[in-house]
Structure 1
C-alpha cells in the first residue's frame, strides 16, 4: 500500500528565499524537496549562528583548513551525522562517506538517508571547501 499523503513532511520557504513579483508570494518547497533543502541548510549553518536556536546547524567551519587525513575526515563525517540526527527528525541517516578532491580543495560529503514513514532512500552530496579563499594552483 503506497502512502499518498505526504503532508507530514512539511512545507517551507525555499532557501535562499525567492519572492515572486507577480503575486508577492515566496516560493515554497513541499515534501521531499523540503527535507532535501533542510539538509543543506543544516550543513551550511554554523552552531550559534541562529540566535533563537543556538544548537542548530553543523559546525564545519573550524575544519576548513584542516589537513584531509583519515582522522580529520572521520571527525567531519561524525559532525555531519550528529548534526543531521539532532536537527532533522524526518530522516534516518544510513551512511556518510567522503571523497577528498585534494587538487580542488573540496571534500565531498555524501549522505545517504531514508525518509521516515515512506522508507524512500535518497542521497545528498555536500561540497565542503577545504581550502576556501586560497589560491590553489591548478
Structure 2
C-alpha cells in the first residue's frame, strides 16, 4: 500500500468473504474501505461492540416509528453526528433523508462526503427499513 491507501487503511471486506477453499479472506482498501466502514457504522447499535461501546449509530431505536418530520430530523442528526465522531477519514459535506419510499417503510439516508486523503467526493445511500428487523449491509438504495 502506498500514499492515500496507506492512510485510508485496509480491512476485511464486509460481509466477510473467503477465497475458494477458505485459503484467504477478501480485503478492501482505500476508498472502498471507507465506504464499507460507513455502512458498518450505520448498521451498528451503540453498545454492540464490547471494546468500543460508544461506537455506532442507533438507527434501530426508530424501528417501527411513524415517519414524521421530527423523525426525519432525528435520523439526519444521528447519522451526521455518528459520521463526524467515528469516521475521521472523511469530511462530511451533508446528510439528507428522503421519505420518497415512506409508504414502504423505508427512509433513504444519503451521505455526501469527501475522503480527506484523496480529496475525492462520494455519495452513499443507505436504505433504512423502519418496518423490518433486518438492516441490510451494503445494500444500495
TM-score (norm 2): 0.87
Distance 1:82 1:71 in 2: 16
Q: Which segments of 5 or more consecutive residues in structure 2 lack a partner in the other structure?
A: 134-141
> What residue is the counterpart of 1:28 in the other structure?
27
1:118 aligned onto 2:123: no
**Which range moved further: 51-60 or 64-73?**
64-73
**Per-residue displacement from partner, 1:90-138 (whole Å, max 9, x unpaired)?**
00111111111122110000000011132111000000001115xxxxx
Name the SS for the 1:38 alignment partner: helix
Distance 1:9 1:17 in 2: 19
Distance 2:117 2:41 in 1: 21
> What residue is the counterpart of 2:93 in the other structure?
94
Distance 1:23 1:89 in 2: 33
> What residue is the counterpart of 1:63 in the other structure?
62
Matched-pair contact (CA < 8 Å) for 2:7–2:117: no
TM-score (norm 1): 0.89
Bigger RCO of structures 1 and 2 (CA < 8 A, at least 6 apart): 2
Answer with 1 or 2: which has the greater Rg: 1
Distance 1:17 1:23, change over 3 A: closer
Q: Stretches of 4+ moved more than 4 A in 1?
A: none
Shift of 1:22: 4.5
1:1-138 matches, within 5 Å, as 5-6=3-4, 7-22=6-21, 24-100=23-99, 101-132=101-132
Distance 2:128 2:112 in 1: 16
In angstroms, what is the RMSD of aligned CA positions?
1.4
Shift of 1:21: 2.7
